[in-house]
C-alpha cells in the first residue's frame, strides 16, 4: 500500500463535471489499494474573480483581508470534491489549511509554510478515508488566514507529501507533463520523461508556471518524489507524465538544453549618467532592498568621463514602488544621476540545461538565433545552468520559437 498525494489545479476542477472526473481518478487509485490525500485549487478563474472584487473596492487592499477572501476559493472545491467522492460510496473528509494546521509565517499573500500537523490526516487515512485538503492556504500563529502566493497549491501538495512521508506527490494539470517549453507558445514542444530537480528549479524560477517554485524547493529539501501528469486522461491511463529526478543524467544521455522558460513579469529601471564611484551600486540598491523589493538582473555599463548607466529589473508589481523609492533617494541626494527611467514592455527569456556545464557555445548559439531575427538583447545574465536575456516584450513568442528550433528541442536526443 502506498500513500500518494494528488494535486488538481484550477482547470482540472473548473466545472462540476471535471470534479466528478477527479473523483473517478481518485477512486480508481484508492481502489488499487493506496491511501490518497487530494489537494485542490479553486475552480478556474475563481481566485482572479475574488481578488478582482477586492480591487473594485480599493487600489491598495489590505493583504490580510485579501487572504481572507482568496482562501474561500479552495474551500468551495474541497467540499465539492468530498461530496463527489461520497456519492461514489467512498468515505471522504475535507480540511481547510487551518483545520489541518498548516502553520505559516504572517507574510500575507506570499506566506511560507513553517510546519504541518500530520496526526489527524494519518488517523483518517488509517480509517479508510480519502482526505481532501485546500491548497494555497494556512494559518499564522495568531490564527490569521494566509495564502502562499499564486500557484501555491503545488507547494501545499509537496509540503503535505513531505510531512506525511508520502511515496509520491502527483501534480495533475491540463498538460501531460513538463515540456521543453510552454506548449501554448510552441506547439512542437516535447514532453520530457524526466527533468532534473536543478533544471526544474531554474525553469520554475524563470517563469514556467507549470510548478510553483516553492513546491520544487520543498521537493528538493525533503526529497519528495514529484511527478507532473494530465488530469484530462482516462483515470486508468498509465501515462507516466514527467518525473523530477535527483540523479544527474550521465554525460552520454545528456541534452545540452532541456528547456526554455520565459516571464512577462519583468520591468527595467535605468539610472542614466550616475557618477561612477565606489559605493554607487550600494547607494542605489540599499533603499530598494529596504523597501522589500526583489531585484533580479543588474547591469552597469562602462564608465565614460566618470559617469555610468546602471540598470536592473524588478517584478511588474513592484515597478511603481521602485521608481518612487529611487526618486526619493535622488531627491535627498543619496546619489546623483542625469535621469531615472523605467520600461515595463520587456520580458525575460531563458535557456536552461545542466549540459551547459560541460558544453561551450550555448550563449553564442542563443545570441545568433536572436540576432538573425533582429531581436535586440538589453540585459544578459548567466549561471552555471542557464542563460537569461531581457528583450522587448513584443518579441517574446518569436524568441521562444526560434530558440526552441535553434536548440533542436522538438527532437528527442539521439543516444
Ligand atoms: P494548474 O491550474 O493545474 O495549476 P497551471 O496553469 O498553473 O495549471 O500550469 C499548467 C500550465 O503551465 C500549462 O497549461 C502550460 O501552459 C504552462 N506551462 C508553462 N511552461 C510549461 C512547460 N515547460 N511545460 C508544461 N507546461 C508549461
Ligand atoms: N488558486 C490559487 C491561484 O489561482 C492557487 C493555485 O491555483 O495553485 O493562484
Ligand atoms: Mg498552477
List, for residues 39-71, the tens digit of each pLDDT value: 999 999 999 999 999 999 998 899 999 999 999
**Whether residue 29 is found in the same domain as residue 135:** yes
End of a domain among 245, 275, 293? Answer: 245
Residue 303 has pLDDT above 60, yes or no: yes
**Whether residue 297 is found in the same domain as residue 187:** no
* Nearest atom, ligand 2, residue 74 CA: 1
- pLDDT reported for residue 254: 61
**Whether residue 204 is found in the same domain as residue 327:** no
Residue 191 has pLDDT above 60, yes or no: yes
CA of 39, nearest ligand number? 2
* Nearest atom, ligand 2, residue 73 CA: 1
d(CA 336, CA 326): 11
**Cα 271 to averaged position of ligand 1 atoms, centre (Å):** 35
151 CB within 6 A, ligand 2 = yes
What are residue 318's phi and psi, to 5 degrees? -100, 5
* Terminal C-alpha separation, the chain: 36
pLDDT digits (tens, 9 = 90+) for 128-154: 999 999 999 999 999 999 999 999 999
> What protein residues have CB closer than 5 angstroms to ion ligand 3?
9, 151
CA of 171, nearest ligand number? 1
**Whether residue 169 is found in the same domain as residue 269:** no
CA of 134, nearest ligand number? 2
At 173, which helix (H) or strand (E)? strand 168-173
End of a domain among 245, 265, 285? Answer: 245
CATH code assigned at 29: 3.40.1160.10
359 CB within 6 A, ligand 1 = no
Helices 16-31 & 63-87 angle (0-180, nearest 10): 60
**Whether residue 311 is found in the same domain as residue 203:** no
- pLDDT reported for residue 358: 86
pLDDT digits (tens, 9 = 90+) for 325-336: 999 999 999 999
Per the structure, how many domains does the chain have? 2
- pLDDT reported for residue 399: 98
Residue 398 has pLDDT above 80, yes or no: yes
**Cα 158 to averaged position of ligand 2 atoms, centre (Å):** 14
118 CB within 6 A, ligand 2 = no
**Whether residue 272 is found in the same domain as residue 241:** no
**Whether residue 238 is found in the same domain as residue 192:** yes
Q: Contact, 316 vs 269, CB < 8 A?
A: no
**Whether residue 232 is found in the same domain as residue 254:** no
* Confidence tier at 77 by pLDDT (50, 70, 90): very high
Q: Contact, 305 vs 311, CB < 8 A?
A: no
**Whether residue 77 is found in the same domain as residue 221:** yes
pLDDT digits (tens, 9 = 90+) for 277-292: 999 999 999 999 999 8
CATH code assigned at 316: 3.30.2130.10
**Whether residue 31 is found in the same domain as residue 68:** yes
**Cα 411 to averaged position of ligand 3 atoms, centre (Å):** 27
11 CB within 6 A, ligand 1 = yes
3-state secondary structure 206-249: CCCCCCCHHHHHHHHHHCCCEEEEECCCCCCCCCCCEEEECCCC
- pLDDT reported for residue 360: 87
Q: What rounded mean pLDDT belongs to the chain?
A: 95
- pLDDT reported for residue 292: 86
- pLDDT reported for residue 249: 62
End of a domain among 214, 245, 276? Answer: 245
**Cα 152 to averaged position of ligand 2 atoms, centre (Å):** 6
The pTM of this model reads: 0.93
- pLDDT reported for residue 371: 98
**Whether residue 240 is found in the same domain as residue 261:** no
pLDDT digits (tens, 9 = 90+) for 5-29: 999 999 999 999 999 999 999 999 9
The C-alpha angle with vertex 248 and arms to 244 and 250, in degrees rounded to 5, equals 130
Domain of 276? 249-415
What count of other Cβ atoms lies within 10 Å of the Cβ of residue 17?
A: 7
Amino acid at each position: 500500500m502506498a500513500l500518494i498525494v494528488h494535486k488538481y489545479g484550477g482547470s482540472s476542477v473548473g466545472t462540476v463535471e471535471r470534479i466528478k472526473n477527479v473523483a473517478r481518478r481518485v477512486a480508481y487509485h484508492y481502489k488499487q489499494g493506496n491511501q490518497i490525500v487530494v489537494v485542490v485549487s479553486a475552480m478556474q478563474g475563481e481566485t482572479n474573480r475574488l481578488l478582482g472584487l477586492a480591487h473594485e473596492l480599493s487600489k491598495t487592499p489590505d493583504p490580510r483581508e485579501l487572504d481572507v477572501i482568496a482562501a474561500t476559493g479552495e474551500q468551495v472545491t474541497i467540499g465539492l470534491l468530498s461530496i463527489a467522492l461520497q456519492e461514489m460510496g467512498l468515505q471522504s473528509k475535507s480540511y481547510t489549511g487551518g483545520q489541518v494546521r498548516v502553520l505559516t509565517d504572517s507574510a500575507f499573500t506570499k506566506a511560507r509554510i513553517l510546519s504541518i500537523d500530520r496526526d489527524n490526516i494519518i488517523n483518517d487515512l488509517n480509517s479508510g478515508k480519502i482526505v481532501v485538503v485546500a491548497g494555497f492556504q494556512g494559518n499564522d500563529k495568531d490564527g490569521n488566514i494566509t495564502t502562499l502566493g499564486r500557484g501555491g497549491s503545488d507547494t501545499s501538495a509537496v509540503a503535505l507529501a513531505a510531512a506525511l512521508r508520502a511515496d509520491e506527490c502527483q501534480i495533475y494539470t491540463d498538460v501531460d507533463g513538463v515540456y521543453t517549453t510552454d506548449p501554448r507558445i510552441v506547439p512542437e514542444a516535447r514532453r520530457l520523461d524526466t527533468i532534473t530537480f536543478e533544471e526544474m528549479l531554474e525553469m520554475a524560477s524563470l517563469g514556467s508556471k507549470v510548478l510553483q517554485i516553492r513546491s520544487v524547493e520543498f521537493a528538493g529539501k525533503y526529497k519528495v518524489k514529484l511527478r507532473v501528469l494530465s488530469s484530462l486522461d482516462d483515470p486508468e491511463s498509465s501515462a507516466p507524465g514527467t518525473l523530477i529526478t535527483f540523479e544527474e543524467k550521465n554525460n552520454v544521455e545528456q541534452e545540452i538544453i532541456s528547456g526554455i522558460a520565459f516571464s512577462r513579469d519583468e520591468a527595467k529601471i535605468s539610472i542614466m549618467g550616475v557618477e561612477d564611484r565606489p559605493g554607487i551600486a550600494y547607494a542605489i540598491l540599499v533603499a530598494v532592498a529596504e523597501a522589500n523589493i526583489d531585484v533580479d538582473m543588474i547591469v552597469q555599463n562602462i564608465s565614460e568621463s566618470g559617469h555610468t548607466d546602471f540598470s536592473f529589473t524588478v517584478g511588474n508589481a513592484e515597478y511603481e514602488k521602485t521608481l518612487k523609492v529611487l526618486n526619493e533617494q535622488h531627491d535627498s541626494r543619496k546619489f546623483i544621476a542625469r535621469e531615472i527611467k523605467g520600461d515595463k514592455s520587456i520580458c525575460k527569456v531563458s535557456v536552461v540545461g545542466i549540459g551547459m556545464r560541460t558544453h561551450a557555445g550555448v550563449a553564442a548559439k542563443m545570441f545568433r538565433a536572436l540576432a538573425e531575427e533582429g531581436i535586440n538583447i538589453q540585459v544578459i545574465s548567466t549561471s552555471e545552468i542557464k542563460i537569461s536575456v531581457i528583450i522587448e516584450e513584443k518579441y517574446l513568442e518569436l524568441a521562444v520559437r526560434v530558440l526552441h528550433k535553434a536548440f533542436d528541442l522538438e527532437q528527442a536526443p539521439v543516444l
